A and B are shown apart, each in its own frame.
Chain A
Amino acid sequence: MNPALVRWLQAPSIILLLLWMIVPLSMTVYFSTIRYNLFYPERTGFIGLSNYEFFWTDAAFMPALLNTLILVGSVLIVTIVLGLAIAILIDRPFRGRGIARVMLISPFFIMPTVSALVWKNMLMDPNNGLFAAFSNALGFQPIEWLSQMPLFSIIIMVSWQWTPFAILIFMTSLQSQDQEQKEAATLDGAGFWSQFWNLTLPHLARPISIVLLIQMIFHLAIFAEIYVTTSGGPGYSSTNLTYLIYIQSQQAFDVGVASAGGVFAIILANIVALFLIRAVGKTLTV
């Protein structure tokens, strides 16, 4: 076909995609450089980088940045390790495997707000929660999860929700693993671990990098769990960047500062993505 014609035919979808990305991005960048507080419509005008300065000199900024990275990092490690272990465990045929698989995957289909409420009120609550009941039965003081270790509690909730995603991806890709190769390795006397390191893990390299990248995108923007359970506290101990932006846009109604925060978040996402792609880059080219 005529290459020019091909370009013309491709153009509408490419332009649409470009608009889809460029319009919100440029609006955010524009808002971040103007004075734009919904409560003071009369105050307008270009103010350079003041919004950025106000955002990053916020006492909550550094803790929020750290919390964001800790959240993303820990959830990634937990979900991938657990996901791998469980996927390999249920890879062998056993009675009731179908039901077990469905149940293992089901947490992923629960809405984050709902799961956060269940964790908060039914499991972690120090008065009425299940964990407190266990502690009391064993004669220990119940742990006040959300006030003593808020970030850890949120990591647990998010990991619980996202491990099924890792299981799902790993489980399906394990099914495409060459079974004859594994049998041959067994005949040659290779144990479980040496099979895992030399056959299974290389086979799963690509799905692992996919899980890493997709989850990273979602975990940089964790919000519902924090909003529902700790409201970012106590202090700043569970505030992440998303929550900080929410406070600026929905409590201070300062669109300018919130947009500056949004631009920070975009930059952070790109840095983390670059770092992760570098780290798993080799495996991507396998």
Chain B
Amino acid sequence: MNLLRNTALGLSLCVAAAPMAFAGELTIATVNNGHMIEMQKLTPAFEAANPGITVNWVTLDEGTLRSRVTTDITTKGGQFDVMTIGMYEAPIWGARGWLEELTFDAAYDVDDILPAMRGGLSHEGKLYAAPFYGESSMLMYRKDLVDAAGMTIEDNPTWDHIRDVAAAITDKDAGVYGICLRGKPGWGDNMAFITTMANSYGAQWFNPDWTPALDSDAWKAAVTDYKSLLDNYGPPGSEGNSFNEILALVNEGKCGMWIDATIAASFVTDPGQSKVDDKMAFAQSPQKATTKGSNWLWAWSLAVPAGTKQSDDAKKFVAWATSKEYIELVGETNGWGNVPTGTRQSTYDNKLFQDAATFDEAELKAILSANPEDSTLNPSPYVGVQFAAIPEFQAIGAAVGQQMTDALAGNISVEEALANSQQIADREMKKAGYY
């Protein structure tokens, strides 16, 4: 079985070399979340406006998408004309010349795209992917519980204050836990959150000379506090919780506070799925030594791989799907509460959107305060808030995520977990030839 799995990779080289698409037919790889499914439903509008172009969709879950498109682009497979990629991939691939630079006409109004998004999707000033939907992270909390405890939460509260609030509102007998945070291992799972927390303690992944900085005091303080928060005030089984698991807990009214993706705000305030829809309030992420990098930045975006034979048609599609007109189309078709957010200033300026969304100000504030190019207290050599945009990060982040979960489960100490992480990162970076 192992043998087959590995050679499948090699064989896909040959298979993928065969031309998959015909003229006028675009093959687009995308991720299976709500906004992307909506884009597929609206495809006929694009096809009607661009006669002669038809669109084929390949819809995959996040993990599969990532390995499919990465394998395709690194082996020059040419299966896709448009790829949905994240903010992690865009600058790496752009730097390697694997993506076509995107230039748009005046009507597209590229300056309307939020600067943080543009920065995170560019390399050396050239835009390599157009943001389709963007998000940051923020603190979501049960206003009723916090009020009942006689406390308040301001924007960017201190982590010490968060601990006090968590202690005050935890009521384990009633099944209410003061704080829920991600614990499931994965660079996009627990490490996305833990990295923002560590950033706010003044920590960073790598020193300017690319040696890992995971053995710093700042990391130790951040992870120690993270573990003690969850040990004392978190729900049981936090080691297996990521976005979806915690969302279910919050919707059941079991979490007092939650720091996670801004998109969650639209779910927890939806009376159709949340029991606490009218009790939630929002604030900017907590801080310790700094607010820099305390909230993450992510965008699912569309990119055109270099070497596609239909780059003009592909770019037409990218421009259509990330345009103001597309957002208006979704607003008119599905209601303004359902438009893809986090990409354009014009969305937030739109009165119809402001009326439909309850979290728009908090989300915009979070996105605008994130800067992937400057997200750590001390100088660091990498781009990215909750990740470092280098090819090695996925493997390092996954392994470090495992160590953090191990520490959270109490199998090893925080010191051991960080020492192991430092060693893992050092090994990978040496092998990749950074020093």
Asked if A190 lies at the interface with its beta carbon under 8 angstroms from chain B, I say no
B73 to chain A, nearest CB (A): 9
Q: Restricting to B381-435, which residues have a CB under 8 Å from any CB of A?
A: 391-392, 394-395, 398-399, 401-403, 405-406, 408-409, 411-412, 420, 423-424, 427-428, 431-432
Asked if B7 lies at the interface with its beta carbon under 8 angstroms from chain A, I say yes
Q: Restricting to B1-35, which residues have a CB under 8 Å from any CB of A?
A: 1-7, 9-11
- Give A31 to B6 CA distance when docked, in angstroms: 9
Given A231-B186, A232-B402, A233-B406, residue A146 in contact with residue B1 (CB < 8 A): no
User: Which of B71, B184, B395, B423 interacts with A252 by CB under 8 Å?
Assistant: B395
Check A255 against B2 for contact (C-beta < 8 Å): no
Q: Restricting to A218-277, which residues have a CB under 8 Å from any CB of B?
A: 218, 220-221, 229-237, 239, 241-242, 245-255, 258-259, 261-262, 265-266
Check A253 against B74 for contact (C-beta < 8 Å): yes
Check B2 against A265 for contact (C-beta < 8 Å): yes
User: What are the residues of chain A within 8 A of B74 when measuring CB–CB?
Assistant: 38-39, 41, 253
Asked if B340 lies at the interface with its beta carbon under 8 angstroms from chain A, I say no
- Give A41 to B67 CA distance when docked, in angstroms: 16
B274 to chain A, nearest CB (A): 16
User: What are the residues of chain A within 8 A of B4 when measuring CB–CB?
Assistant: 24
Check B5 against A262 for contact (C-beta < 8 Å): yes
Asked if A215 lies at the interface with its beta carbon under 8 angstroms from chain B, I say no
Cβ contacts A17-41/B at 8 Å (1 or 0 each): 0000001110110010000011111
Asked if A127 lies at the interface with its beta carbon under 8 angstroms from chain B, I say yes
* Cβ-closest chain B residue relative to A261: B2
Check B71 against A147 for contact (C-beta < 8 Å): no
* Cβ-closest chain A residue relative to B185: A233
User: What are the residues of chain B within 8 A of A37 when measuring CB–CB?
Assistant: 391, 432
Asked if B70 lies at the interface with its beta carbon under 8 angstroms from chain A, I say yes
Given A127-B249, A234-B409, A234-B411, residue A255 in contact with residue B9 (CB < 8 A): yes
B5 to chain A, nearest CB (A): 7
**Residue from B401, B405, B420, B427 having most chain A Cβ neighbours under 10 A:** B405
User: What are the residues of chain B within 8 A of A266 when measuring CB–CB?
Assistant: 2-3
- Give A144 to B240 CA distance when docked, in angstroms: 9
Asked if A126 lies at the interface with its beta carbon under 8 angstroms from chain B, I say yes
| Stretch with Cβ within 8 A of A (4 or more), from B141-149, B231-239, B309-317 | B231-239
Check B7 against A253 for contact (C-beta < 8 Å): no
* Cβ-closest chain A residue relative to B239: A147
A10 to chain B, nearest CB (A): 25
B232 to chain A, nearest CB (A): 15
Asked if B75 lies at the interface with its beta carbon under 8 angstroms from chain A, I say yes
Cβ contacts B202-245/A at 8 Å (1 or 0 each): 00000000000000000000000000000000011101100000
Given A38-B71, A38-B74, A59-B424, residue A245 in contact with residue B240 (CB < 8 A): no
* Cβ-closest chain B residue relative to A25: B3
Q: Restricting to A136-151, which residues have a CB under 8 Å from any CB of B?
A: 141-142, 144, 146-148
- Give A128 to B247 CA distance when docked, in angstroms: 13
Check B7 against A24 for contact (C-beta < 8 Å): yes
Report, as a range, how many residues of chain A touch the other chain: 35 or more
Asked if A54 lies at the interface with its beta carbon under 8 angstroms from chain B, I say yes
- Give A128 to B241 CA distance when docked, in angstroms: 13
Asked if B254 lies at the interface with its beta carbon under 8 angstroms from chain A, I say yes
Check A247 against B10 for contact (C-beta < 8 Å): no
Check A127 against B254 for contact (C-beta < 8 Å): yes
Check B2 against A221 for contact (C-beta < 8 Å): yes
B254 to chain A, nearest CB (A): 7
User: What are the residues of chain B within 8 A of A144 when measuring CB–CB?
Assistant: 236-237, 239-240
Check B6 against A252 for contact (C-beta < 8 Å): no
User: What are the residues of chain A within 8 A of B432 when measuring CB–CB?
Assistant: 37, 40
User: Which of B2, B5, B9, B237 interacts with A147 by CB under 8 Å?
Assistant: B237
A70 to chain B, nearest CB (A): 16
- Give A236 to B185 CA distance when docked, in angstroms: 11
Asked if A203 lies at the interface with its beta carbon under 8 angstroms from chain B, I say no
Query: Could you jot down 9 A-B contacts, CB within 8 Å?
Result: A146-B237, A147-B239, A147-B240, A148-B409, A217-B1, A231-B185, A231-B186, A234-B411, A252-B395
Which residues of A come within 8 Å of B, CB atoms?
23-25, 27-28, 31, 37-41, 54, 58-60, 120, 125-128, 141-142, 144, 146-148, 217-218, 220-221, 229-237, 239, 241-242, 245-255, 258-259, 261-262, 265-266
In the A-B complex, the 3 residue pairs with the closest CB atoms = A235-B406, A221-B1, A147-B239
Which residues of B come within 8 Å of A, CB atoms?
1-7, 9-11, 67, 70-71, 74-75, 92, 96, 184-187, 235-237, 239-240, 248-249, 254, 391-392, 394-395, 398-399, 401-403, 405-406, 408-409, 411-412, 420, 423-424, 427-428, 431-432
